[in-house]
Amino acid sequence: MKINWFTVIAQVINFLILVWLLRRFLYKPVLNAIDEREKNIASQLKDAEAKETKAKKEQAEFARKNETFDKEKKALMDKAIVETNEERQKLLEAARNEATELRSKLDKSLKDMQENLNRDISQKTLQEVFAIARKALADLASLSLEEQSANIFIKRINDLKKDEKKQFVEAFKKGSNLHAGSQGLILIQSAFDLPEKQQAEIKSAVNEVLGTKTQFQFKTAPEIISGIELTSNGYKLAWSISEYLNSLQKNISEMLNDKTIKDETKKAPVEVPAEVPVTEPEKAPIVKPKVKFKIKSEKNK
């Protein structure tokens, strides 16, 4: 239990040195490190808080924008729907119009086709009728159709009524005056070559009517089907069997129309008129054709 005072003093100095050393090498660095880390953490927390605040703000902003966007989207959508409907209506209207137009065009073309068909049929019928008539006449009376036609034409000239005769003569004389120095020329056109005999008969008949001798010109025109035509200065006297053909054509047209209507409507079948001459083609040549003369006044021909 002795106290060595030198040791005491030495230990005091030792301890104070140790205090200084540890403070320098241990406590200060550790405390500084702790402080610094705490500062770091605090700043990071502050940062995080600031970021959170910012994020919340941005979220709110975003939500607001989203809402606005939704509203705008809805409005645009509604508008687009309305516009689309309008457009659709327009397009439908256009399509309907187009369809109507097309249908009318189709109708027209159908009609044209029908007309063409009619014309073809009438043409064909005409030729057939003509051929049959010619054969029948030749067989029955040893007469050619041409001769018979000429005879009928002459008969017609002779049977001209007074008024008609006067008209003819006036027209002839007028023509003669107009063409001074030249006699009035009478043009006779026929579908076939008129035999000499018939030519002479026609000449004499016409001369008789006019009471003067005049010049004649005979011409063959195949487009005048089975007929004879007399032309003089705008006066025209003609006979043909086109009247029969016209009536035939009329009947066929009526029949076709009826059929078309029936097809279109698909309703109760329309009764086809009983007396349609075309339906019995063998009758046509047998029935004695009604000879009709057509007098037309064509000026400036």
Q: Which residue, 7 or 109, is less far from another protein as judged by CB?
A: 7
Q: Which residue, 21 or 91, is less far from another protein as judged by CB?
A: 21
Q: Which residue, 29 or 273, is less far from another protein as judged by CB?
A: 29
Closest approach, Cβ 50 to another protein, in A, equals: 18
Inter-axis angle of helices 145-158 and 28-141, nearest 10: 80
Q: Which residue, 35 or 61, is less far from another protein as judged by CB?
A: 35
Closest approach, Cβ 20 to another protein, in A, equals: 8
Q: Cα separation of 182 and 23, whole Å?
A: 159
Binding residues for another protein, total number by CB under 8 A? 35
Q: Which residue, 43 or 297, is less far from another protein as judged by CB?
A: 43
Closest approach, Cβ 67 to another protein, in A, equals: 40
Site for another protein in 11-50 (CB under 8 A): 11-12, 14-23, 25-27, 29-31, 33-34, 36-37, 40-41, 44
Q: Would you count residue 178 as binding another protein (CB under 8 A)?
A: no
Please choose, from the candidates 177, 293, 180, 187, the residue with its C-alpha nearest in 3D space to the C-alpha of residue 235. Answer: 187
Radius of gyration of the chain (CA): 59
DSSP 219-253: EE-TTSTTEEEEEETTEEEEEETHHHHHHHHHHHH
Q: Would you count residue 195 as binding another protein (CB under 8 A)?
A: no
Q: Cα separation of 142 and 150, whole Å?
A: 15
Q: Cα separation of 163 and 161, whole Å?
A: 6
Cβ 157 vs Cβ 206: under 8 Å: yes
Closest approach, Cβ 53 to another protein, in A, equals: 22
For the four alpha carbons of 74, 77, 81 and 82, in that order, the dihedral sign comes to: positive
Site for another protein in 232-271 (CB under 8 A): none
Q: Which residue, 14 or 53, is less far from another protein as judged by CB?
A: 14
Q: Cα separation of 24 and 212, whole Å?
A: 166
CB atoms within 10 A of CB 242: 18
Q: Please give the residue ranges that form the binding site for another protein (CB under 8 A).
A: 1-12, 14-23, 25-27, 29-31, 33-34, 36-37, 40-41, 44
